[in-house]
Structures are given as C-alpha cells and as structure tokens.
Structure 1
Amino acid sequence: MNILLLGSDSRAGTHGRYGRGVTGARSDTAMVLHVDKSHKMASVVSIPRDTMVDRPQCAKPSGGTAPGEHQAMFNAAYQVGGPACTVKTVEKMSGVRMDHYLEVDFKGFEKFVDELGGVDVTTHRAIKDTSSHLSLTAGRHTLKGEQALALVRTRHGVGDGSDLGRIQLQQTFIKALIHRAESIGVVSNPARAYALADTATKTVSADSNLASADKLLGLAKDLKDISPDHMNMITLPVRYDTHDTGRVLPLTKASHQVWQALRHDHPIPKSATDNSVAARTDSPVTTDT
C-alpha cells in the first residue's frame, strides 16, 4: 500500500503570521509512505519541495487543463492542480501508484498535535528561527501544536537553511508523534481512537476512500503493528542544481533504486542514499522513547 502524505503551507485565516502578504497554498511537505504486505514494515520517502521534475498535464481546480511542464519545481504541482496533480506528478516520477493521499494544513497539524497532548522531543542544541517563530533551548521539550508546527517548518534554524535540513526535522517529528500515539494507547482505546479519527476528518483532506472517521480508523488499525523502529525514512537521493543551488535534481540511478524497491515491496537499499546531498544533513533533534 502506498500513501502520499502532504503538508500544505496554507497561509489563510489565523496563520497569516507565518507568511504575511502570501496567499494560496503550496505543498510544503510531501512523503510517500509504503507499507509492506506484512503491514509490519514501512518505508517513507520525502521529496524535497525544490526538486526539479517533469510535471504531467493536470486538471485545474478552477476548470480547464494545465499542460505538462518539463523541469518544473515539484511543489508547483500543488499550485497548479492541488493534491490530484501532486499525486499524478509523484506517480510519473516514481512509477509507483498511490493508493491514497492524506493532506493536512497548518491549522489541522496544530490541532492534531494538541489532541495528542503534545509530542516529546530532545534538542541537542538551541534552535532559533524568527521566520517560523521557533525558539527552543537545548534539552527535552513537550511540543504543543504551535511549537510543533514551528519546528517542522524551520529552515533557517538548522543545517544550511535548505529544505533538506527541514526534512530531517519532519522525519524525526513523525517518529516522535508515533511514539506518543503508542504511549497513550490510541489504537487500543476505541473511544480515544475514534475521537482522534473524527478530529482528523475535520482537519485532514483525503481521497474519497479515506474520507470518514471509520475509514481513517481502519487505516490506523492496518498500521498499528508498524513501530518507529520498523520505519525506514529517507530523502529522495538528490544533488544541487549547478545552475541554481536553490534547486535540487534527483540522482537518476539512486532514485531508480528507491522507487524500484517500493514497486517490488523490498527494503530500500542503504547504498541508494550514500551519494545524496541529503545524506550529509543531520537532525539536531531526536525522539524521546
């Protein structure tokens, strides 16, 4: 089973503080979640938003069709045709069919974290980023919704300020979130599980096959045996574009290895990421287990 997880950087409503003067939404985060046939192992491939890809022809939400584009920024697909166009773009670049998609925006992310009672992480150094309104001292923290959002959005507070450093934070936070859900027995407590699933239906957009609390609860039960220790999280192997260092290009051979592993339900070989610039980025945050 393959699920495209999307985080959109909608700046509407109460979240204008995260980008004043900017309207609309973009795909700020994109991860392909592959669940193996045993439902006990998973692979997650993060796609950097600045990756240059060939975008297919897409239907526009306002009507009409947007022609395909050669070497377009990955996150532009969302601007052109929303999640449906992003799904088509991922399928084109990977050759992997997406069975579902789930999308959460800023407000939904904050609410979901708050419903869990916060998420525990440890920072190994102070992190301060005025752009994302993040200020954390070194040490252990229980992050509520707004702080958690600031953490997964920060770019300038970690690494070289690129999207690659932020992806490392996002992957670490997801593992911490799963640990939190396990520790409070979300799936084993039917009432709490349904309440969270009901919250998700109000804060998460999904394809029609997941668009109800019962269906989301069913998905959670399908994934309950996958612990963070059995979840391999990588970033798509990329290199910087020599013509524009603000953009990245997939490493052809290595990316093929990654997508081929998912297509054949195999673990992603470690060698696939060895030469990626993303492999040089370390997260200053770890999970509390």
Structure 2
Amino acid sequence: MAQSEVRGKVPAVEDTMALKPQTSAASGGSGRRGGGRRAGGAKTERRRRRRRVLRWSASVLTMVILGTAAAGYLYYEHLNGNIQKGRRSSADDSKAHRTQPNAAGQTPLNILLIGSDSRNSDENVKLGGSRDHRGDPPLADVQMLIHLSADRKSAAMVSIPRDTRVDIPKCTDPDTGKVYPPTNDIINVSLARGGAGCTLATWENLTGVYIDHWMTIDFAGVVRMADAIGGVDVCVRQNVWDHPTPRVSGGSGLKMRAGEHKVKGEQALQWLRTRHAWGSDLMRARAQHMYLNSMIRTLKKQNVFTDTGRLMDLAEAATKSLKVSEEIGTVKKLYDLGMQMKAVPSNRITSLTMPNVRDPQDGNHVLPDQANAAKVWQMLQDDVPFDKNGEKSASKPAADKAEPTRKPSVDASRLGVLVQNATRTSAEGPVPQRARAIGQALAQQGYVRASADTTGSLSEDKTVVRYPSADLEGDAQAVAKALGIPMGSVRKSTDVSGVTVVVGADWRTGTAYPKQSAPKAGDLPEGSDAVNGSDTTKCMDVYDVYRW
C-alpha cells in the first residue's frame, strides 16, 4: 500500500517494510524511516489537504462569480429585449434647430412622451372599453414634451391638447412604407400617419424646438408602471364619478370621494383618461401634470434608484410598457435619463399647457394662441427656465448675438435672395403681398436681386433666414442684419437652394422686423395653466354633473 493511501495512519510493520526509501532536501538524503519521518509526512499531508480545500473553495467562488455575472448579463439582455424601438422621425425635413450649447458646452434634452389609445390587444381593449376600435391605428391622446435644461438643474413638461388643429407634415410610415401627404387636422391623428416619428415631426414644425427622442405608452403600460411605483397621490375637491350621462356617452369610470387618494393600476389609468368630470380636455392635461409631479415626488421619496428590488420591478415594468426612439433603446440609456430627471429638484420642475384659443371652424377644437404659444416655444428654444427658483444666468446663448459671425461671399447687389410669404396661421389667412413688400425693403438695402416667391403661401410661426450650404452662411447673416432679424433665426436647411427669407406669422406688418424682448426665467405667458412640481396643495375641481 502506498503512503498516500493510509491518510496519516502509522503503517503496520508489513506495510513499512514495503515502503521504499525516499530522498529529499527536507530529509537531508538519509533515507531513514524513523518516527521523525512519519511526523514530517503527516505535516506535509495536512498542508496538501489545506491546499486542496483552498483550491476547491476558489473554484466554487469563481463559479459563483461567473454565474452571478452571467445571470446579470442575461437579465440585462432580457430587459433590453423587452424594449420596442422605432425611428426618431417619419418626416423628410424639419423646421426645428438645436439649441446652441451653453458656456460649459452643454445642450438641453427634449423628449416627447406620447400616450397611445391603442386597442390592438385584449388587455388594451379591456382597459380602453371600446372594442369597436380594435385594429384601428392608434391616436396620440396624450402629448407632452419633457425638457431638461442644459445644466440639468431645471425641467419643464409642456402639453398640447389632443384636439389642437395644426399642420401635420408629409410623413412615411417606417413599418409599411406608406406615404401620408401633409394635412391640416387635430394633432392626435399624427400618430396614425407615420407613427410616433410623425407626431415628433409635427411638434418640431409647430414649435421650432428640436426633439431628441420620443417615448410611447399604452393603457396597459400605464397600469404596469403605476403598480410598479406602488401608487401615486392625487386629490379631488368633490366626490367624482366619470360615467356616461344622458347627454354625453363614455367616461373613464373613475369614482372616488373628495380628498387625497393613492391611485395605482387601473384607477391610475382612469385618472389620466378622465376628461368629462374635469370639464374639458384642457383640465385633463392639468390632472395629468399633477399626477406626473406627484409620481416624481414619490420616486424621490422612495429612493427607488438605490433599492435594487424596487429598481428591478420598475425596470421590468418600464421596459415592457415603453416603446422608444432607437437612440435610447437600451436599459442603460433609459436609466441614465431617469437619473438625470431624478437630479432635478421638485421646485425646479414646471408643467403647463400650450396657451390656446377656440377654433372658429369647430368649437370642439382649439388653436395655438399665436403670441403666447410662441413665447413658450421661444423659452424652450433658448433654454430659459419656466421657474424663478434658480440662479440668474449671466450670459445669453451665442445664437442671440446681434452681429454676424461670418463674412459674406459676394456683394449684396450680386446675391439672389428669395422671399417667401409664410404668414398664414391656423386661425388667419396669409397677409397679401407680404413677400413682395419685404423683397422691396431688401432692394432698398442693396439686395437688388431679391424676388418674391409666388408659388403659394406657407405657414411659419417665426421668421427665419435659410441657406443651403456653409459658403452662404455669411450672406444669410448679412441679409438678416439688413432686416433686423436675430442671428439665432439664421439656419442651414436642405429645403432651399439659395438664401431664402421666410416671413413668418410674427411679422405680419412693417418692413423692419419687430424687436423681440428676451424671455426671462419664470415669465410665463397667460393661459399656460402652470403647476410647480413641489406644489402639493393642488386638487381637481369636479364638473357638477359628475359629482355624487
């Protein structure tokens, strides 16, 4: 029997006679088999056993680490696989431009949140309560722009009512390739004319604000998210029951007593969908703003971003509920967005609804209140905070400088300039001969080759000067200076072949561009129905027909 087989026992005489002498540095080469040899062998064996245990422990630990890492990777990939993605824009061109970086090189972030009324699944039909519309293209009943300031210290949430009549651009459905021609219709149908990318393009053309990403969520997604959060606090001043009446069919089914309540699941969806009980679609936007502000406060209190279990539940719900533009189609990017929003103090978050007026063509629709809405869009473009709770900015964006930054490539008398009449709005027709009047004003400034475009009237909220290539940027800036147009309104565009002045609805009279006062932080226009994110006193009033 070999020594290794006795596991430290003292061998019998017959066994020791069978052992062969061994020579090693430790024994000094004597080859003797006395008691000292046996003791040394036992110590060596114990050392070997310890090494075997350590090797086994290290192997098990390595397997655990690798297994945990593999499980984490697989779960991360599982979450990524949950996310549905789509193209950012469905339109060929955009009238929007990116905001110039601030002094630190930072730019704002704009995300369009779209609530879809899709009833193309059993779950959504059950929650939406209208089987007749199963299979119909979804409409964008909730549309809200989330604006994160360049320094990430303030945020804004701006809603456009679903029944706002606007110009919807030409869009191509990215899934079917179907091309939808431009039209004038209420904004919620944009989702059915090329998906979320068409809604984004409609917003950009209306506001002039560049939108980086979009997110859509349907009925079932709202329920999942509300459950994952654990409920959101809301408030009503009177008992409310949003149910069908003899005069008005439908209703969300929301029923609760006056006071504060924590809503989740289907009741949260009912709160967000309620319209009749609040009196109008405009009041529904207010209720949605109150819900989102409360949700953000709830997440901040729960510290969900450092609670692994809660974070996993929220991640599972979010990735199953949201469809996003492809640029943010990973868990990491969505998490980073969430962390940026979380960092904004509640009193620096402001929600509002686009100022609007009744549509003279249809009393059920509204139009943008031209001057007041334009002020909101200007504040977003210039990254001016909607609240007054931050530090005052000492500098303006570089784009607002009055002087040109590039030299003209040719003399004014040799430059061809096209002037377009874009003074038409949804509420008013174009100003006759407007392009001709501005063309004559340019001729008096030395631009004798300026001419009016007679192909038809366009619609632009703001006057802009467009140019097709970098070599004409200085010429476009010189034209803008001659008319008193701000340098921030000089933009490169692929839809023009030369320097083009587009006279917008903000310049309907006169030949000198009207001076625009720079918007100030918190200086919001009338009719915006603003709600601050830290305000916990807001309650919804209930239209008397729906009280009980």
Give the TM-score of the pair, scaled to structure 2.
0.49
CA positional deviation for 1:176: 1.0
Distance 1:20 1:283, change over 3 A: farther
| CA distance in structure 1 between the partners assigned to 2:237 and 2:262 by the alignment | 14
Note the C-alpha offset of 1:244: 1.1
Over the matched positions of the two proteins, sequence identity in percent amounts to 35
Match of 1:153 among 268, 273, 290: 273
Deviation at 1:260, TM superposition (A): 0.8
Q: Which amino acid aligns with 1:68?
A: P
Distance in 1 (CA, whole Å) between partners of 2:204 and 2:312 is 31
In structure 1, C-alpha distance between the alignment counterparts of 2:241 and 2:145, rounded to whole Å: 29
Look up the equivalent residue of 1:284 and give its one-letter code: M
Bigger drift between 145-154 and 54-63 goes to: 54-63
Alignment of 1:104-123 (within 5 A): 104-123=217-236
- Which residue in 2 is equivalent to 1:235? 353
Deviates more, 1:254-263 or 1:20-29: 20-29
Q: 1:15-45 deviations in whole A, cap 9, x for unaligned?
A: 3242231233110100011111121211111
d(CA) in 1 for partners of 2:240, 2:346 = 24
Instruction: Go from structure 1 to structure 2 and tell me whether the alpha carbon gap of 1:38 and 1:194 turns closer, same or farther (over 3 Å shift).
Output: farther
* 3-state SS, counterpart of residue 193 of structure 2: helix
Of 251, 258, 279, the residue aligned with 1:138 is 258
Structure 1 residue 59 displacement after superposition = 0.4
CA distance in 1, matches of 2:289, 2:382: 23
Stretches of 4+ aligned residues off by more than 6 angstroms: none
Structure ranking higher on relative contact order (CA contacts 8 Å, 6+ apart): 1
Of 293, 298, 312, 1:180 maps to: 298
1:200 to 311, 318, 327: 318
- Greater gyration radius: 2
Match among 540, 543, 546 for residue 284 of structure 1: 540
Change in CA separation of 1:188 and 1:40 when aligned onto 2, cut-off 3 Å: farther
Shift of 1:275: 4.4
Q: Which amino acid aligns with 1:9?
A: D
Which AA in structure 2 matches 1:78?
Answer: L
2:526 to 256, 274, 277: 274
1:75 alignment partner, SS class: helix
**1:66 counterpart = 2:66:** no
Q: Which amino acid in 2 is paired with 1:21?
A: D
Higher strand share: 1
1:201–1:211 CA contact under 8 A, matched in 2: no
**2:100 aligned with 1:16:** no
CA distance in 2, matches of 1:265, 1:189: 33
Distance 1:275 1:155 in 2: 19
Is the Cα contact below 8 Å between 1:3 and 1:32 reproduced in 2? Answer: yes
Query: Against the structure 1 CA distance between its residues 194 and 218, is the aligned structure 2 distance closer, same or farther, given a 3 Å change threshold?
Result: farther
The alignment's C-alpha RMSD in Å is 1.8
Q: How many residues align?
A: 279
CA distance in 2 between counterparts of 1:73 and 1:64 reads 20
Partner AA of 2:145 in structure 1: V
Instruction: Report the residue type matching 2:264 in the other structure.
Output: K
Contact 1:129 / 1:157 at 8 angstroms: preserved in 2? yes
Q: Which amino acid aligns with 2:272?
A: V
In the alignment, is the contact (CA less than 8 A) between 1:200 and 1:213 conserved in 2?
Answer: no
Cα deviation digits, residues 183-241 of structure 1 (max 9, x gap): 21112334533442232111100111222222211111112111332111110010011
**Structure 2: gaps (5+ residues):** 1-108, 244-250, 387-519, 531-537, 542-548
C-alpha distance in 1 between matches for 2:235 and 2:166: 35
- Please list the CA deviations of residues 85-143 of structure 1 after superposition, one character each: whole Å capped at 9, or x if unmatched: 00110111011111111111100110011011111222211111121111011122111
User: Aligned partners of 1:138, 1:211: CA distance in 2, in Å?
Assistant: 41
2-structure distance, mates of 1:284, 1:198: 31
Unaligned segments of structure 1, at least 5 residues: none
Pairwise CA distance, 1:267: 2.3
**Alpha-carbon distance between aligned partners in 1 of 2:181 and 2:331, rounded to the nearest angstrom:** 36
Letter in 1 for 2:265: G
Equivalent-residue separation in structure 2 for 1:275 and 1:219 (angstroms):
30
Rate the CA distance shift 1:11–1:273 in 2: closer, same or farther, 3 A: farther
8 Å CA contact 2:375–2:525 kept in 1: the answer is no
